[in-house]
Amino acid sequence: MNINLKTKSEKEAVTTYLSLLYRFHKLSDKELEVTVELILAYFKYLRLYGNAAAAAKLYLEKESRAVIMENLDMSAQVFRNYLTTLKKKNVLQEGMKLNTVLVPSVEKRGFNINISIGYEQEQSAE
């Protein structure tokens, strides 16, 4: 089965992606919104430098934080509180790096998600 979800922007695409993964991260709506902004900042630097290590270092620098807080209409203290919460929920890992499981791989104009569901047949006791 192949399902295509059309969105109007990269932000909406990332939000949809994370919403599909809700069972794995269980973020509140606001935590999801903050995570989307973090991922978009990461993508900005990834495109700019073409290097995941550089993007991981720069996406939370002072200038980027200011843009993220402005986009979220959030004070620095509230933003720091959300970063702490996201660390506790394993969205942000050691060194404030995004958990790669939650970051979609960048394609030209979207993301691909492959889901495989398997099962092991129980053996009957005879």
CA 65 to the chain's CA centroid: 16
pTM score, whole prediction: 0.81
Distance from C-alpha of 13 to C-alpha of 22, rounded to nearest angstrom: 14
Query: CB count, 10 Å around CB of 88?
Result: 9
pLDDT digits (tens, 9 = 90+) for 31-47: 999 999 999 999 999 98
**CA angle (30, 110, 112) in 5-degree steps:** 95
Instruction: Report pLDDT for 75.
Output: 97
Position 104 pLDDT exceeds 90: no
